Amino acid sequence: MRITTIKIGLALSLCSLNGFAVDLTLFENQCAEIGFTRNTPAFGSCVLDLHSREFNSNPSQKLYQQPASEFSRQNELSREALDEARKARQEAATARREADEYRKRIEAQKRQDQFDEQRRLLWDSNEKAMRESWRRP
């Protein structure tokens, strides 16, 4: 038991000294499926044993390579993030178009109000001029 703990500690310290991040989740899941209880020395031995077997069976493989399922999951997450960003850009563009249309309607209404006011003032001045002309003999 003590030797197993030392092996695990030594393996993790070597990995941390070299700056490598070890992804052992694949091996942990396999050991859990076999029936080992997590956080036990036997479980740690199983993880290290599977890891060393994998590395020894395929030495041309990079030492700490992520499983293909992890890459596909990351690609899927990246695609989802891109889709969300694309959707957000489309929504922002739609909101800008709607705001521009609203702004144009407000400006058109202001021009119409100014025109109506000028017409009313002209009408009032013409009406006043006609009244004065009727009063003069």
What confidence tens digit (pLDDT) does each residue in 67-106 have? Answer: 566 667 777 778 888 888 889 999 999 999 999 999 999 9
In whole angstroms, what is the distance from residue 73 CA to residue 77 CA? 6
Q: Decide if 101 is inside a domain.
A: no
Placement of tokens 């004065």 in the chain: 132
Instruction: Please report the sign of the dihedral spanned by the C-alpha atoms of residue 53, residue 59, residue 60, residue 64.
Output: positive
The pLDDT of residue 72 is 74
In whole angstroms, what is the distance from residue 104 CA to residue 95 CA? 14
The domain total for the chain is: 1
The pLDDT of residue 82 is 84
What letter does residue 61 receive in the DSSP assignment? S
Range of 49's domain?
1-65
Average pLDDT taken over every residue of the chain: 78
The pLDDT of residue 118 is 94
Tally of residues, the chain: 137
Q: Decide if 87 is inside a domain.
A: no
122 exposure class (CB count in 10 Å sphere: 0-12, 13-18, 19+): exposed
